[in-house]
Amino acid sequence: MLKDNINLNLIFDYPVKWGRTQILREFVQNFYDSIGLEKWNNGFKYEIANGQLTMFSEDASYSYEWLVHVGASTKREKKRKYAGYFGEGFKMAALCAVRDMKWGVEAASRNWRLVVTTRNITVDGRELQSLAYEIYETEEFLNGARIVVKNFGEEDGRIFQAVIMRFYYPQNPLLGEPIFKNHKYKIFHRSSVEKPEFYSVLIDTKGEGILFCDYQLRAFIDAPLVVCVNGCDKLDRDRPPLLEGEALEILLEAAKSTSAAAAYEVLAAIRKKWRYLNAARKHSYWPHIIEELVDNIQPFGALKKRFRKEFKKIYAMEPLDPEDFRSSYRRRVAIEWHKQNKPDYDLVVSEFEPIGIKLLENACEAAGGYPAVRKPNKSERIKITKLVKAARKLLPPCFISSNISNCEVFDDQAGAALGLARLSRHRGDILTKYLVEIKRKKICRECKEKICGFNSITKYELEGIELNSRLLTAGGDLSGALAVYIHELAHIYGEDGSGKFGRALERAIQAIIGRA
pLDDT given at position 83: 43
pLDDT given at position 273: 95
pLDDT given at position 203: 61
- If DSSP codes are grouped into helix, strand and coil, which group holds residue 400? coil
Confidence label for 433 from pLDDT (cuts 50, 70 and 90)? very low
Q: How many residues does the chain have?
A: 516
Provide CATH code, domain 2-165: 3.30.565
Does the structure show a pLDDT above 80 at 407? yes
Most confident of 55-69, 265-279, 313-327: 265-279
Going through 350-445 in order, the beta strands assigned E by DSSP cover 373-374, 407-410, 419-425, 435-438, 441-444
* Distance, CA of 147 to CA of 112 (rounded, Å): 12
pLDDT given at position 428: 44
Q: Of 86-100, 179-193, 290-304, 454-468, which range is least confident? A: 454-468
pLDDT given at position 85: 42
pLDDT given at position 424: 78
Average pLDDT score over residue span 72-100? 67
Residue 285: name the closest of 259, 256, 263, 327 by CA.
256
pLDDT given at position 44: 95
Does the structure show a pLDDT above 60 at 431? no
pLDDT given at position 66: 77
pLDDT given at position 82: 45
Confidence label for 229 from pLDDT (cuts 50, 70 and 90)? very high
Average pLDDT score over residue span 136-141? 90
Q: Are strands 216-221 and 185-190 parallel, antiparallel or unpaired?
A: unpaired
Digit-coded pLDDT (tens) for 383-399: 999 999 999 999 888 78
Percentage above 90 pLDDT, the chain? 57
Q: Mean pLDDT in the chain?
A: 85
Q: Where are the domains of the chain?
A: 2-165, 175-257, 262-366, 373-515
What are the φ/ψ torsions at residue 488 (nearest 5 degrees)? -70, -35
* Distance, CA of 227 to CA of 186 (rounded, Å): 6
Confidence label for 457 from pLDDT (cuts 50, 70 and 90)? very low
pLDDT given at position 429: 44
* Distance, CA of 435 to CA of 449 (rounded, Å): 10
Does the structure show a pLDDT above 70 at 215? yes
Average pLDDT score over residue span 118-131? 91
Residue 491: name the closest of 475, 507, 478, 502 by CA.
502
Average pLDDT score over residue span 400-429? 77
* Distance, CA of 502 to CA of 505 (rounded, Å): 5
Average pLDDT score over residue span 351-378? 93
Does the structure show a pLDDT above 80 at 326? no
Specify the higher pLDDT residue, 81 or 490: 490
* Distance, CA of 124 to CA of 424 (rounded, Å): 81
pLDDT given at position 444: 53
Is 147 exposed, middle or buried, given 0-12, 13-18 or 19+ CB atoms closer than 10 A? buried
Per-residue CA distances from 330 to 100, 228, 326 (Å): 65, 44, 6
* Distance, CA of 489 to CA of 10 (rounded, Å): 76
Q: Is 226:243 a contact under the CB 8 Å cutoff?
A: no
pLDDT given at position 514: 80
pLDDT given at position 129: 93
Q: What is the pTM of this model?
A: 0.78
Average pLDDT score over residue span 279-304? 89
